[in-house]
Structures are given as C-alpha cells and as structure tokens.
Amino acid sequence: MKLPRDVSGQHLAHLLGHFGYQVTHCVGSHMRLTTHERGEHHVTIPAHESLRVGTLEYILASVAHHLGIDRGELELRLFGSS
C-alpha cells in the first residue's frame, strides 16, 4: 500500500486514537501521544500540515511493533484500502 502524502500530524493523532493513543504532552510543533494498551508506549508526532513520508513510516513502524501487528495491516486499518 502506498502511504498518503498529505497526512497532517493532527489527523494522524486522531487516527491513532482508535488504537488507544491520546495526546499527553504538546510543546511547540510536536505532540507526544501515549497509550496504555498492551503496556505503555509513547510516540512523538510533528504537528505539521503534511508529514514527511519517512517520518510517517517511522511512526507507523513503532506503533505496529508495539501493537504486535504487521505495519501493512496497521496502514490498512488507518488509511483504508484506497
């Protein structure tokens, strides 16, 4: 699946909310999200209008690893099959 190129930090934070992530800290242009599902996990997301593809890939890999699912499955669940 090709990652979308126009995902904002705010939108990604909203989508990760479906997996139990909540914004717990916000400083400048970065948000820290935390989940307690399957243990505690933190991820930092830039609050930019459009995330760089490499940044998005890194965040998704970290979240998928924590949740114990394949990154491709996580992408499908977040962004659909479009």
Residue 61 φ/ψ region, left for φ over 0, alpha for ψ in the -120 to 50 degree band, beta for the rest: alpha
pLDDT at residue number 22:
96
What are the sequence ranges of the domains in the chain?
9-77
pLDDT by residue (tens digit) across 2-23? Answer: 888 899 999 999 999 999 999 9
> Has residue 81 got a pLDDT over 70?
no
Go through the chain and tell me how many residues it has. Answer: 82
The CATH superfamily holding the domain 9-77 is Hypothetical protein. (3.30.920.30)
Mean pLDDT within 32-51: 94
Mean pLDDT within 28-38: 94
- 2 vs 54: which has the higher pLDDT: 54
* Stated pTM of the model: 0.90
pLDDT at residue number 74:
95
CA angle 14, 63, 68 (to 5 degrees): 130
Q: How far apart are CA 50 and CA 42, in angstroms?
A: 21
